[in-house]
Chain A
Amino acid sequence: MAAGLFKSSITKKFWMSLTGIFLISFLVVHCAINATIFFNDGGKTFNLWAHFMGTNIIVRTMEIGLFVGLILHIVDGLMLYFQNRAARPVKYAYEKASASSTWYSRSMALLGTIILLFLIVHLYHFWLRTRITGLTIAEPEMIINGKLYENLYGEMELIFSYSWVVILYVLGCISLFWHLLHGFKSAFQSIGLNHSKYKNTIALVGDAFSIIIPAVFAAMPIAFYFKLVH
């Protein structure tokens, strides 16, 4: 099975699409939970959710699946990138690519690389500290309903007080926007779901998704930086 996974051009597309849809579904959960910072309750709801996500056995198991999915998506993507470059050994002297396609559909590998670089910093900021090394703020815990909880909200406040971090996160979100704008629709085409009957619906949902999710994510560091949440 493992060898068969990437055996043909179409199976490679299939896995690209499946892992992509899986990562998209993760974005929904991640975004919804993080959006609780906008409740303006000093991060209580957010910290409770963060505790649940960090301790629930089902969520932790899915986290492993998430990393596997992400790695598959990256490896598959790199394979496609290098094979596709080799498929045109001599370049055109004059190529008017913009006449027939969008720049972002041609730049998925580049956009993906920017997202990956962002992700490394992002994992260092949050995943590493919540799961392994512990938080860096002076008071890493908070009392909610008489119990002690990790104050991830406070850590966010600290991290997003640096302007370079905010800029980096917003750039990551912009790359995600372009990546999704092609990736969402593309994922459905790759598993064979493209029909004049529902093509426009998929495109519409895809476009809306690509705008809303990165916008909500980008709003988080910005809101902390300008002290719009408390």
Chain B
Amino acid sequence: MNLTLKIWRQKSTNDQGKIVEYKVTDISEDMSFLEMIDVLNYDLVEKGDDPVTFDHDCREGICGMCSMFINGEAHGPNRGVTTCQLHMRSFKDGETIYIEPWRSAGFPVIKDLMVDRGAFDRIQQAGGFISVNTSGRTLDANAIPVPKEDADKSFDAATCIGCGACVATCPNGSAMLFVSAKVSQYALLPQGQVERKERVLNMVKKMDEEGFGNCSNIGACEVQCPKGISLENIARMNREYLMASIKPEN
């Protein structure tokens, strides 16, 4: 396949940045999207140009590092997959492909297609955990009974890989899907009850401080999320938050 790529190039956070056009040739349709970018980067390095910077790690859809806005959609045109799991057979020979970084006030661009998703870490640190005693006499988690339905819902929420596609795709730049997945994951389990109220209050406060937009229930995040995280989680977080605001003590 031969392709024209229009890629966002930006030297640093404060650089203006612009779209630059590149041609790649002899791309196999069995390559992943990132492998196609690797081919381009080999070319650029050979020519003595600066290769395109992008985030990636596992390349098997589980780490959440890859993050490209491809042809107007987060992680490209396919559903339920990350960029690393997107293959070139999803494109046509001769096609022009736009590749941009996640756009959000909460995700400043570091370089080219790489953005700083530290805001997600800070939201997690504000409450996305349970405090467990490590005195050596910890209770075996499997010894605590959990209703099957709750376990399933909690597990579904826990599959969020923190990639940020929800923020990137939301017309409001809202991080509600991510935060609600993290809140739900613990709110549904017995282990999450102790910090249940302060967790949701603190995580939402941090989310707002980080400059993400307000959810207006557009629902684009749910469609573009590679892990299929449901909007029901956002409704649950709204409930959790409103209840905790009315009665903050446990």
| Residues of chain A having any CB pair with chain B under 8 Å | 8-14, 80, 83-84, 86-97, 99-102, 105-106, 108, 182, 185-186, 189-196, 199
Contacts and interface: CB of A to CB of B under 8 A. Distances in A.
Nearest to A199: B232
A9 B203 CA distance: 12
Interface centre among A99, A190, A193 (most CB of B within 10 A): A99
28 contacts: A9-B176, A9-B204, A9-B207, A9-B208, A10-B241, A12-B214, A13-B216, A83-B213, A84-B174, A84-B214, A86-B211, A87-B212, A88-B103, A88-B105, A88-B213, A93-B6, A93-B98, A96-B72, A97-B72, A99-B223, A100-B219, A101-B171, A186-B216, A190-B215, A191-B239, A192-B235, A194-B234, A196-B232
B85 interface: no
Contacts of B211: 86-87
Interface string B67-108: 001011100010000000000000000000010100111100
Nearest to A186: B217
A94 B72 contact: yes
Contacts, number: 136
Contacts of A106: 171, 218
B208 A192 contact: no
A83 B103 contact: no
Given A84-B171, A94-B98, A9 B214 contact: yes
B159 interface: no
B245 A97 contact: no
Interface string B226-240: 000001101111111
Contacts of A191: 238-239, 242
Contacts of B213: 9, 83-84, 86-88
B169 interface: yes
Contacts of B106: 87
Contacts of B8: 93
B19 interface: yes
Contacts of B172: 80, 84, 87-88
B185 interface: no
Given A87-B173, A88-B105, A96-B72, A13 B214 contact: yes
Contact of A88 (B104, B220, B236): B104
A92 B232 contact: no
